[in-house]
């Protein structure tokens, strides 16, 4: 068996595991409690519920039961060095504020990476009947069908998605970007879940997406999905205020210049 065949088998196994765990985690979240216990994290509006914590613990348990030597990076604190060369990057509940307000679009984001970067990504969003996935070098899919980003799109025809910092002290620059963009572009959408925004770029539901302040677990799975769908994906600056940008190649270059990211 060649090394390429071995890599393909591994990727297939990781994808199947991520898809299964994503479905099961999403089912747990769909059983939304009547009362959510809410705590704050980085700011008063950056929240976590008991479901974020419960579902991350479930995902970690399931991964380690199947692959005990793998590493872990999770939004709610999961951290483990890899002894296998594979590390899982987990957002158990992307779009917690949507979940808190019982709005659609929240999701479970699960990615697996190796020394070359993201290898597998799965985003499961049951409230909108949507599952996206990708394997590096093998394309991107939505509910089982291949997807592709919109390209070429000019800036004056672009439908953009974005989001805003939990730290309100850093929203000024974001407000400036929106104020400058609105007279130029088609319109802006604010969906409230970064992974879904990136997947919407991948399938052409929006033309581009940018946001300050995302963490690796926000973009790990969906960034791969967007890339495999033909989009360009970029990270700029330093954490915690790194800019994330995704769009088809033509619009990506225009947005890079517009946002001062070159």
Segment among 3-12, 36-45, 84-93 with least mean pLDDT: 36-45
pLDDT in tens, 205-249: 999 999 988 999 999 999 999 999 999 999 999 876 789 999 999
Alpha carbon distance 14, 5 (integer Å):
14
Alpha carbon distance 39, 42 (integer Å):
10
In a shared domain, residues 170 and 247: yes
Query: What's residue 40's pLDDT?
Result: 67
Of 108, 128, 146, the domain-final residue: 146
In a shared domain, residues 70 and 112: yes
Residues 6+ apart with CB under 8 A from 172: none
CA 211 centroid distance within chain:
12
CA 50 centroid distance within chain:
21
Residue 125 vs residue 77, higher pLDDT: 125
Ordered alpha helix ranges (H), the chain: 3-30, 50-66, 96-100, 172-181, 194-203, 216-228, 249-258
Beta strand segments in 87-204, E: 87-94, 107-114, 117-125, 130-135, 140-142, 145-146, 159-162, 187-189
In a shared domain, residues 120 and 171: no
With a cut of 70, say whether residue 1 has pLDDT above it: no
CA 1 centroid distance within chain:
34
Of 146, 168, 194, the domain-final residue: 146
B/e letters for 47-85, b = 16+ CB within 10 Å, e = fewer, are bbbebbbbbbebbbebbeeebeebbbbbbbebebebeee
Residue 156 vs residue 76, higher pLDDT: 156
Residues 6+ apart with CB under 8 A from 184: 155, 156
In a shared domain, residues 50 and 180: no
Residue 55 vs residue 39, higher pLDDT: 55
In a shared domain, residues 142 and 196: no
Average pLDDT of every residue of the chain: 92
pTM attached to this predicted model: 0.94
Segment among 17-21, 144-148, 172-176 with least mean pLDDT: 172-176
CB atoms within 10 A of CB 41: 14
pLDDT in tens, 187-198: 999 999 999 999
With a cut of 80, say whether residue 257 has pLDDT above it: yes
Task: Reduce the DSSP state of residue 146 to 3 states and report it.
Answer: strand
In a shared domain, residues 139 and 37: yes
In a shared domain, residues 121 and 74: yes
Confidence of residue 28 (pLDDT cuts 50, 70, 90): very high
Q: Write the CATH number for 181.
A: 3.40.190.80
Q: Write the CATH number for 90.
A: 3.30.540.10
With a cut of 70, say whether residue 42 has pLDDT above it: no
In a shared domain, residues 8 and 138: yes
Query: What's residue 44's pLDDT?
Result: 52
With a cut of 70, say whether residue 46 has pLDDT above it: no
The total of structural domains in the chain comes to: 2
Task: Tell me the angle at which helices 216-228 and 194-203 cross, rounded to the nearest 10 degrees.
Answer: 10
CB atoms within 10 A of CB 188: 15
The mean per-residue pLDDT over the stretch 2-27 comes to 91
In a shared domain, residues 202 and 88: no
In a shared domain, residues 18 and 96: yes
Confidence of residue 39 (pLDDT cuts 50, 70, 90): confident
Of 90, 115, 146, the domain-final residue: 146
Residue 6 vs residue 41, higher pLDDT: 6
Alpha carbon distance 138, 84 (integer Å):
22
Query: What's residue 41's pLDDT?
Result: 62
Alpha carbon distance 223, 231 (integer Å):
9
pLDDT in tens, 93-137: 999 889 989 999 999 999 999 999 999 999 999 999 999 999 999
Domain that holds residue 161: 155-258
In a shared domain, residues 241 and 177: yes
Confidence of residue 45 (pLDDT cuts 50, 70, 90): very low
At residue 121, φ and ψ (nearest 5 deg) are -140, 135
């Amino acid at each position: 068996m060649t090394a390429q065949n071995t890599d393909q088998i591994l990727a297939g196994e990781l994808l199947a595991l991520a898809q299964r765990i994503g479905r099961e985690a999403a089912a747990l979240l769909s059983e939304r409690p009547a009362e959510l216990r809410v705590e704050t994290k980085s700011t008063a509006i950056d929240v976590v519920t008991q479901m974020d914590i419960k579902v991350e613990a479930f995902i970690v348990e399931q991964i380690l039961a199947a692959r005990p030597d793998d590493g872990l990076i999770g939004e709610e604190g999961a951290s483990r060095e890899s002894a296998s060369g594979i590390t899982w990057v987990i957002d158990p509940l992307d779009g917690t504020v949507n979940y808190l307000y019982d709005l659609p679009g929240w999701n479970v984001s699960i990615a697996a990476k190796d020394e070359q970067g993201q290898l597998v990504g799965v985003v499961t969003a049951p409230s909108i009947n949507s599952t996206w996935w990708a394997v590096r070098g093998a394309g991107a899919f939505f509910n089982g069908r291949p997807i592709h980003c919109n390209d070429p799109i000019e800036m004056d025809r672009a439908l953009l998605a974005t989001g805003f910092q939990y730290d309100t002290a850093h929203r000024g620059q974001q407000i400036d970007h929106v104020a400058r963009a609105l007279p130029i572009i088609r319109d802006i959408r604010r969906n409230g879940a970064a992974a879904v925004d990136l997947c919407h770029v991948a399938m052409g539901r929006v033309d581009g997406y940018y946001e300050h302040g995302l963490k690796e677990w926000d973009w790990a799975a969906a960034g791969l999905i967007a890339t495999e769908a033909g989009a360009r994906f970029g990270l700029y600056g330093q954490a915690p205020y790194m800019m994330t940008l995704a769009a088809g190649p033509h619009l990506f270059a225009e947005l890079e210049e517009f946002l001062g990211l070159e």
